Amino acid sequence: MAKISTIGILTSGGDAPGMNAAIRAVTRAAIYNGWKVKGIYRGYEGLQKNDIEDFTSESVSGTIQRGGTILRTARSQDFMTPEGRAKAYENIKANGIDALIVIGGNGSLAGAQVLASEYDIPCVGLPGTIDNDLYGTDTTIGYDTALNTIMDCVDKIRDTANSHNRIFFVEVMGRDAGFLAQNSAIATGAEAAIIPEDKTDVDQLASFIGRGVRKSKNSSIVLVSESKKDGTGGAQYYADRLVHEYPEFEARVTILGHLQRGGSPTASDRILASRLGVAAIDALKDGQRNIMIGIKDDQIVYVPFNKAIRIDKPIDRELINVLNVLSI
């Protein structure tokens, strides 16, 4: 492999708290090792349009506590075409970039994999997504912050739910993965979680709620994944069915939406992003390429792109049992 002297870094897809901490870590670790850094704005879209500038240690000063991404992000349809990737590679060579570090989720790493397979450019990915759905890593950058944001919101919803004796369906992000819904349900003492990995029909849902009603609970809260995978609907779908089939219940729906992506990253996400960022540079130094940097049992691991993005990350069935036991 050709010697690396300059790396490029970009963020792509949905933003996640802790991305700036990762950008900071990659930039400073590269400079520490004598490499130059190119910041690529607006993800693969910016790579195609040559929206690239030199990054220094000062470029990332005071960013570790900031949410969002200072490099900004975008979803690029053009990059999905051979012509778009060819333009991106032209700009990679024109800027003297020898390796690319991509921070993002499933789609972002898939883009890096395709680019690396078509052109001789080493790519390393960092798992940056609140969904926590990338295989091979215990957690992803932004997941802990989003989980804490959801917990704070649901705690507040519980206050009003108790005052009105209502059932609240709270929809959270996660795409086709239920990690946010399942773990936030446990953390907030919710009565149920509806997730793609454990399809729940309305009769099962009613049994969960019924246990709470029989115990004279003042309210019931159900966390619902936004996914419609395998027929699983969103929060409004379940609320409508419940009110129609069980009119004795009064239901309300809260969709938390994009506030889950915002906010200052937690200490856990800042530390995780910092560790993964430094590890990405170490991986390139060791000649690694076309891998995602992950963490398993608190140890840095290298996960091939084809495993990280193509294998479904399983949810721990114990978590489902814990919620069922504690929701009585």
Q: Is the pLDDT of residue 101 over 90?
A: yes
Split into its structural domains, the chain has a count of 2
pLDDT in tens, 60-77: 999 999 999 999 998 888
Instruction: Determine, yes or no, domain membership for 327.
Output: no
Claim to verify: residue 201 and residue 285 sit in the same structural domain: no
**Six token digits for residue 275:** 């560790």
**In contact, 212 and 160? CB cutoff 8 Å:** no
Residues belonging to the active site: 131
Instruction: Determine, yes or no, domain membership for 323.
Output: no
Tally DSSP H helices, then E strands, for the chain: 11, 11
**pTM, two decimal places:** 0.93
Claim to verify: residue 136 and residue 269 sit in the same structural domain: yes
Claim to verify: residue 73 and residue 135 sit in the same structural domain: yes
Instruction: Determine, yes or no, domain membership for 326.
Output: no
pLDDT computed for residue 307 by the predictor: 95
Q: Which amino acid, one-letter code, is at 71? A: L
**In contact, 64 and 26? CB cutoff 8 Å:** no
Claim to verify: residue 13 and residue 99 sit in the same structural domain: yes
Q: Is the pLDDT of residue 203 over 70?
A: no
Beta bridge partners, 37, equal 7, 55
Claim to verify: residue 133 and residue 205 sit in the same structural domain: no
Claim to verify: residue 81 and residue 201 sit in the same structural domain: no
Average pLDDT, the chain: 91
Mean pLDDT of 187-199: 86
For tokens 């989003």, the residue is 146
Percent of the chain with pLDDT over 90: 71
Q: Which domain holds residue 44?
A: 6-142+265-310
Mean pLDDT of 290-294: 97
Confidence category of residue 229, pLDDT binned at 50, 70, 90: low
